[in-house]
């Protein structure tokens, strides 16, 4: 009986360790604050993204409300190129009357058309607005 518990614990530990090996990109801060910009009626947040994936070099920036409906925003590039283990900062600008609806700032990994394989996995990381 004790042998079965030991085997079960070993299998559970192995499953836990294997599941933890998945890599995705990271985005900070996790709870960004919007601050007024120099443009009247517009606020902004500065975000930083770190690419931990060797198979991805492009990420799309998106903003959503609490029901995952897209919200209009401005940034220098909605799709940014980031090499493996590189970091990039970006700013998003939102109209002040959209701030009440704003819930999530997200980045989603993107593949070039010729890079897509059957095993390609897309990752989406979101930060929730304070």
Ordered by where they begin, the domains of the chain are 23-128 (2.60.40.10)
Tens-digit pLDDT profile for residues 70-118: 999 999 999 999 999 999 999 999 999 999 999 999 999 888 766 556 5
Tens-digit pLDDT profile for residues 43-58: 999 999 999 888 888 9
pTM of the model: 0.73
Number of CB atoms found within 10 A of residue 69's CB: 10
């Amino acid at each position: 009986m004790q042998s079965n518990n030991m085997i079960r614990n070993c299998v559970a530990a192995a499953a836990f360790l294997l599941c933890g090996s998945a890599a995705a990109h990271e985005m900070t801060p996790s709870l960004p604050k919007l601050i007024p910009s120099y443009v009247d009626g517009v606020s902004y947040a500065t975000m930083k993204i770190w690419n931990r994936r060797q198979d991805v070099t492009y990420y799309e920036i998106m903003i959503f409300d609490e029901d995952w409906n897209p919200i209009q925003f401005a940034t220098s590039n909605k799709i940014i190129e980031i090499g493996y283990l590189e970091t990039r900062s970006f700013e998003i600008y939102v109209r002040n009357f959209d701030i009440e609806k704003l819930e999530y700032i997200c980045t989603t990994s993107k593949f070039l058309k010729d890079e897509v394989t059957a095993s390609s996995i897309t990752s989406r990381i979101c930060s929730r607005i304070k």
